[in-house]
Chains A and B, each alone.
Chain A
Amino acid sequence: MTETSNWLAACRVEDAVENGGVCVKNGEEQIALFYFKRRDEWFATQNECPHRKQMALSRGMIGSTTDEPKVACPFHKKTFSLHTGECLSGDECAIKTYPVKIDNGMVYIGKQPK
């Protein structure tokens, strides 16, 4: 059912962090995978923060204001929408976002950015 060419098997659901992020390796790429427990929602973005080019977003704080889920980079607290990747707190460029799906207890991340 899941074509392995389009989807990366990232990890098991229980390996993800509740209300936080983990970093997934896909070849040379690093992808941040976020899980909002109460809403049972998953998001994936590039792990690199465009501000100072550090691989840190997966360790950021997640939350939402007025229904917009977002992540704040732990270094300088730049925030990015988890829906669109747009930078909400300044004029950094947007981050790439990827589709996520769960199948049979496994988390899959789409290999092509949205």
Chain B
Amino acid sequence: MFGAHVNDLPVIWEELIAAGFESGHAYGKALRTVKSCVGSTWCRFGLHDSVSYAIRIEERYRGIRAPHKLKSAVSGCIRECAEAQSKDFGIIATEKGWNLYVCGNGGSKPQHALLLATDLDSDTCIKFIDRFLMFYIRTADPLTRTATWLNKMEGGIDYLRNVIINDSLGMAAQWEQEMENLVNSYKCEWKEAIENPAIRKRFSHFVNAPKEKDPTIEFVDMRGQKRVAEWNTSNQI
């Protein structure tokens, strides 16, 4: 919400919630919005409906907190317009189903995801993602992305594949149950924030003057839009 005062946020979110929006968790160590290509609905190359699958993924894993942020994508063919190979878990359509790639990251040291399994049907792919995410959540150090987690994992991708697909640790059933519990307990936290007075009152600048905004914030014009004035810094170019 660039340019919004903290006092403005509950008011803005009230409107958004009423219009059917929900938090995208951009602030959280959680799943970001899932990217997809246009898919078979409109693209001549699309093998499957990547958009619907991406929505299913997003609605399943939204809000779940993890050691670090999670990014995902679904591409409808090998051309990979959704860039699923740079994601923590990425899905690419094949003739027969979906390929699942894991542990890709962007950032200052990008690393492509590695192939975990091929030609999966939609439900099996989700089952493997459930196990993968719970294994990551349970064992990764805090603030460690999936690429770093895999890089430090003894046995690497082969070990990970064994754990997820062959259930070599015998944890699959427990992880799937735990994921099911997380999925079933989802609530939009911005909806809760605006409806719960104890949370809502934290969105004011002054505890003893809750309707007043921070008078020191100064906006200037840029390309006809408002932006905050430059901070005091000696690095201005």
Query: With contacts A55-B214, A55-B216 known, is A11 near B231, CB below 8 A?
Result: no
Q: Are B206 and A23 in contact (CB under 8 A)?
A: yes
When chains A and B are docked, how far (Å) is the Cα of A11 from the Cα of B201?
13
Q: Nearest Cβ in chain B — how far from A21, in angstroms?
A: 9
A33 contacts partner chain B, Cβ-Cβ < 8 Å: yes
A39 contacts partner chain B, Cβ-Cβ < 8 Å: no
Q: Are B231 and A54 in contact (CB under 8 A)?
A: yes
Q: Are B232 and A25 in contact (CB under 8 A)?
A: no
By secondary structure, the B interface counts as loop
What are the residues of chain B within 8 A of A33 when measuring CB–CB?
Answer: 207
Q: Are B207 and A10 in contact (CB under 8 A)?
A: yes
Q: Are A25 and B209 in contact (CB under 8 A)?
A: yes
When chains A and B are docked, how far (Å) is the Cα of A33 from the Cα of B205?
12
Q: Nearest Cβ in chain A — how far from B202, in angstroms?
A: 7
What are the residues of chain B within 8 A of A54 when measuring CB–CB?
Answer: 231
Residue of B nearest to A48 (CB): B216
Interface residues contributed by chain A, number (CB under 8 Å)? 15
> Which B51-106 residues have a C-beta within 8 angstroms of A?
none
Q: Nearest Cβ in chain B — how far from A56, in angstroms?
A: 10
Q: Are B214 and A52 in contact (CB under 8 A)?
A: no
- A35-76 contact mask (Cβ, 8 Å, vs B): 1 or 0: 000000000000000001111000000000000000000000
Residue of B nearest to A54 (CB): B231
Query: With contacts A17-B202, A55-B214, A55-B216 known, is A11 near B233, CB below 8 A?
Result: no
When chains A and B are docked, how far (Å) is the Cα of A17 from the Cα of B214?
19
A16 contacts partner chain B, Cβ-Cβ < 8 Å: yes
B225 contacts partner chain A, Cβ-Cβ < 8 Å: no
When chains A and B are docked, how far (Å) is the Cα of A30 from the Cα of B208?
11
A24 contacts partner chain B, Cβ-Cβ < 8 Å: yes
What are the residues of chain A within 8 A of B201 when measuring CB–CB?
Answer: 15
A22 contacts partner chain B, Cβ-Cβ < 8 Å: yes
Q: Are B208 and A25 in contact (CB under 8 A)?
A: yes
Residue of A nearest to B212 (CB): A25
Q: Nearest Cβ in chain A — how far from B216, in angstroms?
A: 5
- Give the A-binding residues of B (Cβ under 8 A): 201-202, 205-209, 212, 214, 216-217, 231-233
- Give the B-binding residues of A (Cβ under 8 A): 10-11, 15-17, 22-25, 30, 33, 52-55
Contacts A11-B208, A24-B206, A24-B207 known; list 18 others, CB within 8 Å.
A10-B207, A10-B208, A15-B207, A16-B207, A17-B202, A23-B206, A24-B208, A25-B206, A25-B209, A25-B212, A30-B206, A30-B214, A30-B216, A52-B231, A52-B233, A55-B205, A55-B214, A55-B216
